[in-house]
Amino acid sequence: MQIAIEEMGGGVTRVILDGRLDIEGAAAVDLKMNVIGGSSQLLLVDLQKVTFLGSMGLRSLVVPAQAVRRHGGKVVVFGPVPMVEEVLKAANIDTLIPIHHELSSALAALQ
Amino acid sequence: MPDVTQKAEAHLSLKSRLAELTQVRPWVDRLAAEHSIPEATVFAINLCLEEALSNVIRHGYKCETHHSLTVHFSATANGDLIFTIEDNAPVFNACEFTESPAPASPDEIKPGGQGIHLMRKFAGSLRWEPLPHGNRLTLGFNYGAQGGEPR
């Protein structure tokens, strides 16, 4: 599981996840995700390259998203593949982190 | 009547360590290649096995590492895929587990505890039986090998 962070301008932090967010993948990114959640105000979680998402992976998304919301920020998910999106929706995570498939609409939702 | 003649079987034995779960995906990938299982069904199988097995290790065995668990696979010619997980953990009926009500607000979403909920959503069927010293959880999927509906 790979994680990359990019500052996009306008105060938006883009975190790009690449790989499988299974138990092993979640363990690999949890600490960084929690740090990002604690320090970002506008967070775009790019899931385009995430090929699997389990409940431990959901935790890696929910904990930082709730941290961002607690300090008044916003979080969106960008570009999940259909099965990953199905997991997000089955777990009601889309009510916490809106899902966008266009980068422009994801960025607009953060403004 | 659909042809339910048994087509194949396979077996995976694991120790009760989360690290052992890295063996599951290659095993499922091999079965998927052998049985031409569609990608979405493979995703659902991997998801349900990870949730079920990690629940046994973390909650049933309480992360004690000297236990074991097994996964048995069987397939029929009409696309039924059956995964049976057996453990020696204290009795726990995942099928009767009462889920928490849906969160009233996004901030009330719990970071964990979604495993059984996801299994119920992604498995075609879920059945639990007690064993003399443990549990048997049977997960069914169907990918419509002879024209049926997926999962």
- List, for residues B119-148, the tens digit of each pLDDT value: 999 999 999 999 999 999 999 998 875 444
Q: Are the beta carbons of B109 and A62 separated by less than 8 Å?
A: yes
Contact in structure between B150 and B139 (CB atoms under 8 Å): no
CATH number at residue B32: 3.30.565.10
- pLDDT tens for B75-120 read 988 889 999 999 999 998 888 877 777 776 667 777 777 899 999 9
The pLDDT tens digits of the residues spanning A6-55 come to 999 899 999 999 999 999 999 999 999 999 999 999 999 999 999 999 99
Q: Helical H runs in B75-131?
A: 115-122
Tokens of A77: 């998910």
Q: Is A54 on the interface with B (CB under 8 A)?
A: yes
Which residues in A lie closer than 8 A to residue B102 (C-beta atoms)? 92
* CB contact A30 to B (< 8 Å): no
B79, B148 contact by CB (below 8 A): yes
Distance CA B145, CA A88 (A): 28
CA distance between the termini of chain A: 29
- Give the H/E segment covering residue A43: strand A42-53
Residue B5 in any domain: the answer is no
Q: Answer yes or no: do B22 and A24 touch at CB < 8 A.
A: yes
Q: Does B149 touch chain A (CB under 8 A)?
A: no
Residue B96: its pLDDT value, please? 80
ipTM: 0.92
Neighbours of A36 (CB within 10 A): 19
Whether residues A83 and B40 touch (CB distance < 8 A) is answered with yes
- Cβ(B14)–Cβ(B21) under 8 Å? yes
How does DSSP classify residue B43? H
Total Cβ atoms within 10 A of residue A51 = 16
- Residue A61 has a pLDDT of 96
Q: Which domains does chain A carry? A: 2-110 (3.30.750.24)
Residue B97 near residue A56, CB atoms below 8 Å: no
- Per-residue pLDDT, B114: 87
Q: How many domains does chain B have?
A: 1
pLDDT at B97: 76
A81 touches chain B (CB under 8 A): no
Nearest beta carbon to residue B107 from set A52, A69, A91: A69
Which is higher by pLDDT, B79 or B70?
B70
Whether residue A92 and residue B102 make contact (CB cut-off 8 A), yes or no, is yes
Q: Is the residue at B51 inside a domain? A: yes
Give the nearest chain B residue to A63 (CA atoms). Answer: B111
What's the pLDDT tens digit per position in B4-61?
566 778 999 999 999 999 999 999 999 999 999 999 999 999 999 999 999 999 999 9
- Owning domain of residue B129: 11-98+112-142
Q: What does the pLDDT read at residue B145?
A: 57
Please judge whether A93 and B109 are an interchain contact, meaning their C-beta atoms are less than 8 angstroms apart. Answer: yes
Over pLDDT 70: what percentage of chain A? 100
Instruction: Determine the pLDDT at residue B146.
Output: 47
For residue B124, tell me if it sits in a domain.
yes
Residue B98 confidence (pLDDT)? 76
Q: Compute the distance between CA of residue B31 and CA of residue B38 in angstroms, rounded to an integer.
A: 11
**Residue closest to A88 by CA, chosen among A99, A104, A102:** A99
Which of B27, B50, B54, B100 to mutate against chain A (most A CBs within 10 Å)?
B50
Fill in the amino acid letter for B125: S
Closest of B114, B103, B144 to residue B50, by C-alpha = B114
Residue B2 — pLDDT band, cuts 50, 70, 90?
Answer: very low
Res A105 pLDDT > 60: yes
